[in-house]
Amino acid sequence: MKQWIEKQRYLIDFTLASLARRKTRNLGLLGVYTLLVFVLASVALYTHALRVEAAKVLAASPEVILQRLVAGRHDLIPPGYLEKVGRIRGVQKREGRLWGYYYDAVVKANYTFMVPNDGTMAVKRGEIIVGPALERSRGLAAGNGISFRSYSGKLHTFIVEAVLPQASELVSADLVLMHEEDFRAFFDYPAGHYTDIALSVANPQEVRNVALKLAAALPDSRPILRDEVLRTYASIFDWREGIVLALLSAAILAFGILAWEKASGLSADEKREIGILKAIGWETGDVIKMKFWEGLLISLTAFLVGFVAAYVHVFYFAAELFEPVLKGWAVLYPRFQLTPHVDGLQVATLFFFTVFPYAAAVLVPIWKAAITDPDAVMRG
């Protein structure tokens, strides 16, 4: 065993000396290789962590949201609609929700105005609770006053009662919570109308049946299930990951060509080296082992360094390099810290697709050169 280890170490010594002879070329290759792994791993880690986070927090969203559609567009829930919903068996709780969008011309950003239904979040008349991104963009703090011009042209002034916790920014960045009467006055909302209805269903197994009943009883309605919300988010991040990978595919292909050219096209020097090694008594197996170490040292170093750098970039520097692509271009930008999550399968896939092809591309041409007669190889 000791002898075997010693032999491998001599092979590594020889490989490193051989790599050092073409230092710039090999260091350049290692650098590009590491960068590629870094980019791929960053995208994979970031989207996976965001997907897990979204699934965790949105698990508490309403079981069914019922919208009313008119000519394919979302319309207000008229009076009497809520009562019809209440007659459907299985519906435990129903609440009319009031929310809408407001474009703030001062900072050119969109806010989501909302009336909290939950008693613990009740807001007094004339007061608002704002999201953390709003606090930043408008420089607000508790006790400050702020005016919004409504769509009817009237100016409405509110006092900021509180700011939502920064930790919840992923879901609350642009929220403005207000009293129901303020909301109706601000948007000139017709009395008794709601934006949509949130339903809770007593038995989770019954959610789909309740949705079917709702669709049958109220043909102009569109029930949106919590499952669909969760699936929408899963697919959004899959899609974004895919788009980024598609944009990166040119870089991946370019690297593929570079690595293939470097690994498979043996230079005259390398061929001569193999010829000499064989002529002085190296076996084919030794030459292959030597090249195997070369491939493994380069690809494993690139993978490990690239992955660790990506992990630190995503979870300790908030993925600053990819933020604009993955988050969007909105004026109000949520600032959030992701909880580190590593998906074993994702790491294994990344490892397989970055380390193995290079190792294989190194070995095949060497094996071809190593089984040829030394004399023929040296003459080239």
Partner 1 sequence: MLSRPSTLALLLLALAMAGFALTLVDAALPREQRKAEVEATRALVGQLGLTDLALFTEARYTRHPSQADLHSAFQDHPLALEHFPTGSLLPPPRHEAVDREATLPD
User: Is 307 among the residues that bind partner 1 (CB under 8 A)?
Assistant: yes
Query: Residue 179 half-sphere exposure, CB side, CA atoms within 13 Å?
Result: 14
Where does this chain touch partner 1 (CB under 8 A) — which range of 76-84, 232-240, 257-265, 367-375? Answer: 232-240
Residues in binding contact with partner 1, number by CB under 8 A: 96
Alpha-carbon distance of 176 to 111, in angstroms, equals: 7
Torsion from C-alpha of 355, 359, 362, 366, nearest 10 degrees? 180
Least CB distance to partner 1 at residue 74 (A) = 5
Where does this chain touch partner 1 (CB under 8 A) — which range of 22-30, 143-151, 162-170, 357-365? Answer: 162-170
User: Is 117 among the residues that bind partner 1 (CB under 8 A)?
Assistant: yes
CA quadruple 344, 349, 354, 358: dihedral sign? positive
**What tokens were used for 194?**
């709601």
User: Is 260 among the residues that bind partner 1 (CB under 8 A)?
Assistant: no
User: Is 73 among the residues that bind partner 1 (CB under 8 A)?
Assistant: yes
Where does this chain touch partner 1 (CB under 8 A) — which range of 183-191, 228-236, 258-266, 274-282? Answer: 228-236
User: Is 97 among the residues that bind partner 1 (CB under 8 A)?
Assistant: yes
Using the rule CB under 8 A, which residue among 25, 84, 152, 239 binds partner 1? 239
User: Is 27 among the residues that bind partner 1 (CB under 8 A)?
Assistant: no
β strands within the chain, DSSP E? 64-70, 73-75, 91-97, 99-104, 109-114, 127-130, 145-149, 155-163, 175-178, 196-201, 221-225
Least CB distance to partner 1 at residue 296 (A) = 9
User: Is 121 among the residues that bind partner 1 (CB under 8 A)?
Assistant: yes
Torsion from C-alpha of 244, 247, 248, 250, nearest 10 degrees? 160
User: Is 92 among the residues that bind partner 1 (CB under 8 A)?
Assistant: no
Residues 6+ apart with CB under 8 A from 285: none
User: Is 89 among the residues that bind partner 1 (CB under 8 A)?
Assistant: yes
Among residues 251 and 305, whose Cβ is nearest to partner 1? 305
User: Is 328 among the residues that bind partner 1 (CB under 8 A)?
Assistant: yes
First to last CA, the chain: 37
Least CB distance to partner 1 at residue 5 (A) = 10
User: Is 44 among the residues that bind partner 1 (CB under 8 A)?
Assistant: no
Among residues 257 and 349, whose Cβ is nearest to partner 1? 349
Using the rule CB under 8 A, which residue among 82, 88, 185, 318 binds partner 1? 88
φ, ψ dihedrals at 370, nearest 5°:
-75, -25
Alpha-carbon distance of 124 to 287, in angstroms, equals: 80
Alpha-carbon distance of 191 to 172, in angstroms, equals: 27
Where does this chain touch partner 1 (CB under 8 A) — which range of 76-84, 186-194, 258-266, 333-341? Answer: 333-341
User: Is 55 among the residues that bind partner 1 (CB under 8 A)?
Assistant: no
User: Is 76 among the residues that bind partner 1 (CB under 8 A)?
Assistant: no
User: Is 308 among the residues that bind partner 1 (CB under 8 A)?
Assistant: yes
Note whether 236 and 328 are within 8 A (CB). Answer: no
Strand pairing of 99-104 and 127-130? unpaired
**What tokens were used for 13?**
């010594």
In sequence order, the β-bridge partners of residue 194 are 77
Where does this chain touch partner 1 (CB under 8 A) — which range of 112-120, 183-191, 354-362, 371-379? Answer: 112-120
User: Is 57 among the residues that bind partner 1 (CB under 8 A)?
Assistant: yes
Among residues 200 and 264, whose Cβ is nearest to partner 1? 200
Among 83, 80, 76, 81, which residue's Cα sits nearest to residue 183? 76
Where does this chain touch partner 1 (CB under 8 A) — which range of 78-86, 259-267, 337-345, 372-380? Answer: 337-345
**What tokens were used for 170?**
């992923």
User: Is 318 among the residues that bind partner 1 (CB under 8 A)?
Assistant: no
